[in-house]
Structure 1
Amino acid sequence: MRLTPFSALSILALCLIQIEAGKVNIVRIDPKKDLVCLILPPPGMIIGDTEQDGHVQCTDGNPQLLPSNFFIWKKFQSNGNYVQAWGMMNDKSVGLRSDDGGGQYDTHRDSGVNEAPGYAVFVELLEPDSRRWCIRFCPKGKEHYCNMGKSTYGCEGALGITDWSS
């Protein structure tokens, strides 16, 4: 299939409109700097209903600062297959609903336009009803370690995280 010049310009314009509208979420993680960026839903909204409307908040304030009391605790793990962080959160500090069973943000386009520089894919799960969160970044060739097909399994089922002690 060959794109016409008009089709190519239309696709480019759509991408530029999304970027200008702030629809690109850049997610980062750096264990050495204790840096975590998470995509969060609009305050008071259910995660699964707002996957296209998420916004990034980071511990370094770029683009927006996570409240200092958001993390109850967090842990990092890195190996040749992925880099991840997980822990317990103060869901009220960012307006998450404690009755929300959770949801997933990732690099699939049904979760909005989300990118993780330096990694092929990422997967993030937030579970406000249990106050758990987790995020994993996978490099090119290791994408299968970021299991994006198990969003209803939570951090334990999707990423195998079982250590929930501070």
Structure 2
Amino acid sequence: MRLAPFSVLSVLALSLIHVEAGKVNTVRIDPKTDLVCLILPPPGKLIGDSEQDGHVQCTDGKPQLLPSNFFIWKKFQSNGNYVQAWGKMNDKSVSLRPDDGGGQYDTHRDSGLNEAPGYAVFVELLEPDNGRWCIRFCHKGNEHYCNMGKSTYGCEGALGITDWSS
């Protein structure tokens, strides 16, 4: 089947309108104040199936409060290329599915309208089946440190995090 040019443009326009009509998820991190904001899937949905409809929850309650028992522990690290946080989580506190092998939210357009003010890009991985989470914010010119193309590698493979001791 061959589509007329008008039909192709209409399909493209409709897909852009769908993305543009969505809300913007703003994630933040601040090691000085222990602030972490994560994008989470709707309750009961798999992370990989909710790239377009995730929502932000933060330790400071803006826009929505992350439960105080979500983090079992968390660590921060920063250098000239990126700032990151990672740790173990209580997935039940936010209704993550324990059978979910995990997934990724980032600044790619197919992940919805996600932004990290002050950084060029970010990548977040949640792994409910092993209780791990990680998020990295990369500075302009160092976007390659955020490894957004390795969502199936988890926190260890995508971001090189190997320290899982509290």
Structure-1-length-normalised TM-score: 0.88
Return the alpha-carbon distance in structure 1 between the equivalents of residues 108 and 60 of structure 2. 25
Question: Post-superposition, which runs of at least 4 consecutive aligned residues in structure 1 deviate over 3 A?
Answer: 13-17
Aligned position for 2:3 = none
Seen in structure 2, the aligned counterparts of structure 1 residues 99 and 16 have a Cα distance that, compared at 3 Å, is closer
Aligned position for 1:140 = 140
Q: Which secondary structure state, in structure 1, belongs to the residue aligned with residue 156 of structure 2?
A: helix
Q: How big is the shift at 1:71? A: 0.1
Seen in structure 2, the aligned counterparts of structure 1 residues 130 and 16 have a Cα distance that, compared at 3 Å, is closer
Seen in structure 2, the aligned counterparts of structure 1 residues 16 and 155 have a Cα distance that, compared at 3 Å, is closer
Return the alpha-carbon distance in structure 2 between the equivalents of residues 76 and 16 of structure 1. 32
1:4-43 equivalent positions in 2, closer than 5 A? 14=17, 18=21, 23-43=23-43
User: Residue type matched to 1:141 in 2?
Assistant: G
Q: How big is the shift at 1:135? A: 0.1
Q: How big is the shift at 1:17? A: 5.8
Aligned position for 2:8 = none
Alignment gaps of 5+ in structure 1? 1-9
Alignment gaps of 5+ in structure 2? 1-12
Return the alpha-carbon distance in structure 2 between the equivalents of residues 77 and 124 of structure 1. 15
Q: How big is the shift at 1:121? A: 0.1
Q: CA RMSD in A?
A: 1.8
Q: 2:101–2:129: 8 Å Cα contact kept in structure 1?
A: yes
Aligned position for 2:6 = none
2:136 is the counterpart of 1:122:
no
Structure-2-length-normalised TM-score: 0.88
Aligned position for 1:77 = 77
Q: How big is the shift at 1:15? A: 9.0
Q: Which secondary structure state, in structure 2, belongs to the residue aligned with residue 73 of structure 1?
A: strand
Q: How big is the shift at 1:114? A: 0.1
Return the alpha-carbon distance in structure 2 between the equivalents of residues 50 and 17 of structure 1. 17
